[in-house]
Amino acid sequence: MKAFLAPIHGYSDFAFRMLCQEYGAQAACIPLVSSTSVLRDISKLKRIDAHPQEKNLGIQLFGISPEELGRATALLDETFPFVSWFNLNCGCPSERITECGAGSAMMTEPELVGQSVRSMKNATSRKVSVKLRISGRQGETLELCRAVQGCAGVRRRLRNCPCKNHWAGIPGQRGLGNHQNH
Q: What is the 3-state secondary structure (H, E, C) of 19-59?
A: HHHHCCCCEEEEEEEEHHHHHHCHHHHHHCCCCCCCCCEEE
Interval 86-106 mean pLDDT: 94
pLDDT, position 158 = 43
Mean pLDDT taken over the chain: 85
Interval 49-66 mean pLDDT: 96
Of the ranges 19-23, 89-93, 131-135, which one carries the lowest mean pLDDT score?
Answer: 131-135
More confident: 160 or 106? 106
Of the ranges 70-74, 79-83, 138-142, 160-164, which one carries the lowest mean pLDDT score?
Answer: 160-164
pLDDT, position 175 = 42
Residue 153: pLDDT over 70 = no
Three-state DSSP class for 131?
strand
Three-state DSSP class for 174?
coil
What strand order describes the sheet that includes 153-157?
A: 4-5, 27-34, 57-62, 85-90, 127-133, 153-157
pLDDT, position 164 = 44
Say which CATH class 4-180 falls into: alpha beta
